[in-house]
């Protein structure tokens, strides 16, 4: 006959830790997925013109063009959101202002990005019309997404 042993206290403690670890993982993964979904939906709605806050404009004065992008960034998730826009061009003909906004949960922030092409004809005639732009979105402290794309497409002769 097999004797049924009493479960030692130490084993109960280990089980308790296992449950705690599982709960922590579920909590973190669940909230991060939920926040990512909510933030993505909110930003997508904003860019689609839900509140007409996402505005991009290119203004040409003489040979200088200024590209302005104003984006309202809502944070409907549970973690702080940081959005940063930067761009990089090998010569001094393009000047970018690095801009960043921190949005706490439930709030919203406005991201104002300016990119100036000092000499548009020179830019258009140059071999390199690629302005390496970076959009970094981070859901502090767990997830960060960096999107790299060409901001050169924003530059239009005569403004938008």
Give the one residue of 47, 55, 110, 143 binding another protein; rule: CB under 8 A. Answer: 143
Asked if residue 62 binds another protein (CB under 8 A), the reply is: no
Site string for another protein, 107-126 (x = CB under 8 A): --------------------
29-48 residues in contact with another protein (CB under 8 A) are 29, 32
Give the one residue of 16, 24, 104, 106 binding another protein; rule: CB under 8 A. Answer: 24
Using the contact rule CB under 8 A, the part of the chain among 24-32, 39-47, 85-93, 103-111 near another protein is 24-32
Q: For tokens 């089980």, name the residue.
A: 15
Asked if residue 19 binds another protein (CB under 8 A), the reply is: no
Tell me how many degrees the CA angle 64-65-70 measures, rounded to the nearest 5.
145
We find the least distance from the C-beta atom of residue 153 to another protein, in angstroms, to be: 10
Asked if residue 2 binds another protein (CB under 8 A), the reply is: yes
Sheet holding 55-61, edge to edge: 55-61, 64-74, 108-117, 94-96
Radius of gyration of the chain (CA): 24
Using the contact rule CB under 8 A, the part of the chain among 11-19, 50-58, 89-97, 117-125 near another protein is 11-19
Q: For tokens 């010569």, name the residue.
A: 91
Find how far residue 31's CA is from the centre of its chain. 18
Structure tokens at 96: 């970018």
List interacting residues with another protein (CB under 8 A): 2-3, 5-8, 10-11, 14, 17-18, 21-22, 24-25, 28-29, 32, 138, 141-150
């Amino acid at each position: 006959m097999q004797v049924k042993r009493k479960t030692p206290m130490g084993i109960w403690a280990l089980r308790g830790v296992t449950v705690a670890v599982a709960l922590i993982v579920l909590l973190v993964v669940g909230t991060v997925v939920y926040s990512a979904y909510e933030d993505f939906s909110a930003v997508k709605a904003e860019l689609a013109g839900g509140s007409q806050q996402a505005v991009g404009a290119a203004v040409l004065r003489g040979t200088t063009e200024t590209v302005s992008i104003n984006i309202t960034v809502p944070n409907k998730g549970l973690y702080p959101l940081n959005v940063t826009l930067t761009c990089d061009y090998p010569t001094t003909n393009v000047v970018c202002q690095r801009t960043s906004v921190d949005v706490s949960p439930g709030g919203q922030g406005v991201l104002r990005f300016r990119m100036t092409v000092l000499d548009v004809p020179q830019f258009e005639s140059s071999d390199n019309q690629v302005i390496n732009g970076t959009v970094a979105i981070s859901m502090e402290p767990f997830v960060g997404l960096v999107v790299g794309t060409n901001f050169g497409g924003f530059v239009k002769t005569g403004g938008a």
